Amino acid sequence: MAQEQELDDQIALTAEKIRAGKTSLGIEFGSTRIKAVLIDDTYSTIAAGDYGWASHLEDGLWSYSKEEIWKGLQTAYAAMAQNVETAYGEKLTRIGHIGFSAMMHGYLAFDKDGEMLVPFRTWQNTNTSEAHKKLSELFQYNIPERWSIAHLYQAVLNKEEHVGKVAYFTTLAGYVHWKLTGKKVLGVGDASGMFPIDPTTHTYETEFIEKFNALPEVAAQPWKLSDLLPEPLVAGTP
């Protein structure tokens, strides 16, 4: 009996936290699942939902479709919200904080109107070996094949038709943040998988950006790299 009362009290307390928005929602876009997990102010899990997905080859490169990014997000969120209502009898109408993370690296490129120029290129692609070697030599700093800058530079080297139209490029986490908040930002950890970060300033390595812009094939483009990158934000920044 005492145990039942304790459980009822715990459910009532959690329901009150849900109503008051004393919650945080984390959504993770993993390689095989999109997960939505709601926790309370003591970091205890309240509810969770997920959506299974898999990358596919598109034009010879590994990708996830734009449509499935949003379908997966909505499905995982809906499952989590239903879980809340079933377990605590509360409709989820307020959330204290929301954070997104996703597979690092990769390449999502957009034109000045915000239209995606090519299908999302994931971290799984290894078509960027030439860019990896040239940039690693240029910076004297290892630039892995999966990094976003390697994807952009490889597209430049390949003279891809879309390159001159790029006005913004980011990772999957940056894309979701942008579409939901209107802000072109990225957590500094994720940003470090796009381009090298200066540990003192917590932003991109200025010297490397200048070296990149000075490459003849890059200098011929209508853009400068610093205008294309999301703003890196340190942990705890809204």
Query: What pLDDT digit, counting tens, does each position of 103-116 carry?
Result: 888 999 999 999 99
Q: Taking residues 64-90, report their average pLDDT.
A: 97
- Fold match between 2-100 and 104-233? yes
With a pLDDT cut of 70, the percent of the chain lying above it is 100
CB 105 within 8 A of CB 194: yes
Q: Quote the pLDDT of residue 9.
A: 84
pLDDT category at 60 given cuts 50, 70, 90 is: very high
Of 45-49, 97-101, 143-147, 227-231, the one with minimum mean pLDDT is: 97-101
Q: Quote the pLDDT of residue 159.
A: 97
Q: Quote the pLDDT of residue 2.
A: 72
The Cα 86–Cα 84 span in angstroms is 6
Residues 145-182 as b or e (16 or more Cβ within 10 Å = b)? bbbbbbbbbbbbbeeeeebeebbbbbbbbbbbbbeeee
Pick the CATH number of 2-100 from 3.40.50.720, 3.40.50.1980, 3.30.420.40, 3.30.300.30: 3.30.420.40
Looking at the DSSP assignment, which residues form a beta bridge with residue 108?
A: 170
In CATH, which superfamily holds the domain spanning 104-233? Answer: ATPase, nucleotide binding domain (3.30.420.40)
For 198-211, write each residue's pLDDT tens digit.
999 999 999 999 99
Domain ranges of the chain: 2-100, 104-233
The Cα 166–Cα 180 span in angstroms is 21
Q: Residue 180: is its pLDDT beyond 80? A: yes
Q: Quote the pLDDT of residue 7.
A: 81
